Amino acid sequence: MTDTVRCCVFPVAGLGTRFLPATKAVPKEMLPVVDKPLIQYGVEEAAAAGLTQICFVNGRHKQAIENHFDRNVELEQQIAGSGKELLLEGVNGLMEQCRISSIRQLQAKGLGHAIGCAEPVVGNEPFAVILPDDLCVNPGGDGVLAQMVELYKRYQCSIVAIEEVPMDQVNKYGVIAGTEEAEGIYRIEAMVEKPPVDQAPSNLAIIGRYLLTPDIFELIRQTPPGKGGEIQITDALMKQAEQGRVIGYKFKGLRFDCGSVPGYVKATNYCFENLSRPD
């Protein structure tokens, strides 16, 4: 097994029902934050971390995601020489830098199942997972995934990004408990998917960034349906955690929950004020 993390998996088959009616015909990952679709922020973060193989685990009716990372020759011809071609430089650069592929998740059986679908692309290598709903920024420093790739070199085990959330919010997340080995770095001893507030082991919530060792695929296969009747990545990871092989990392930066309307609005305001765009 190589040490290099090359592949980033994006589970994007979900229906985005929290954003209806906006997501009736448009995938939620294609909703713009200012002028870029949410998914592009995620792919930019993966590319900036040096990951060159992008794998979308996609569902029916969501081809717009694949189309966004393909050429649009008619459009390019139309805008050639107008100055507007600059607006496509970012996404075109990602298409050159990365090999982008997609796999269909045939049934909505949960996040663990979605990640398991990526095995034929990932193979026997450590890999990353980005949930694009969680938009992460770290102005002036490395992106969250780049921080985790760096940490992997030291720990060589699975890593989940964590954040303290208000106690009354823990039931929306995977929640961990563990021993803080170094500042912001926890050796995970317990993790529970969306626990009731009074049963949560802490207020340290897993956010949508994972770095996983490939034995997770076999563990996913062995994982029975859990919370909500779905195959949960949290449950598969717990089996690695029982062997002391999962780190929780309090990342540097900000996270916006773009799966909720308030988080999406906050992200939009933040990006409009703080991130530059070509005029």
**Using CB under 6 A as the criterion, which residues of the chain lie in contact with ligand G1P when the complex forms?**
111, 131, 134, 173-174, 193, 205-208, 232, 234
Task: Return the closest-CA partner of residue 58 out of 10, 95, 97, 99.
Answer: 10
CA dihedral sign of residues 22, 173, 118, 116? negative
Q: Measured from the CB atom, is 16 or 126 closer to ligand G1P?
A: 16
Q: Measured from the CB atom, is 88 or 270 closer to ligand G1P?
A: 270
Q: Output the smallest distance, CB 111 to ligand G1P, in A.
A: 5
Q: By Cβ distance, which residue is nearest to ligand G1P?
A: 174
Answer for the pair 241, 188: CB distance below 8 angstroms, yes or no. yes
Q: Output the smallest distance, CB 208 to ligand G1P, in A.
A: 4
Q: Output the smallest distance, CB 89 to ligand G1P, in A.
A: 30
Distance CA 141, CA 277 (A): 19
Q: Measured from the CB atom, is 37 or 132 closer to ligand G1P?
A: 132
Distance CA 126, CA 164 (A): 26
Q: Measured from the CB atom, is 97 or 171 closer to ligand G1P?
A: 171
Q: Measured from the CB atom, is 9 or 207 closer to ligand G1P?
A: 207
Q: Output the smallest distance, CB 257 to ligand G1P, in A.
A: 7
- Using the 8-state DSSP alphabet, how is residue 132 labeled? T
E strand intervals along the chain: 7-11, 32-33, 36-37, 53-58, 99-104, 127-130, 134-137, 158-164, 174-182, 185-193, 204-212, 246-250, 254-257
Q: Output the smallest distance, CB 50 to ligand G1P, in A.
A: 23
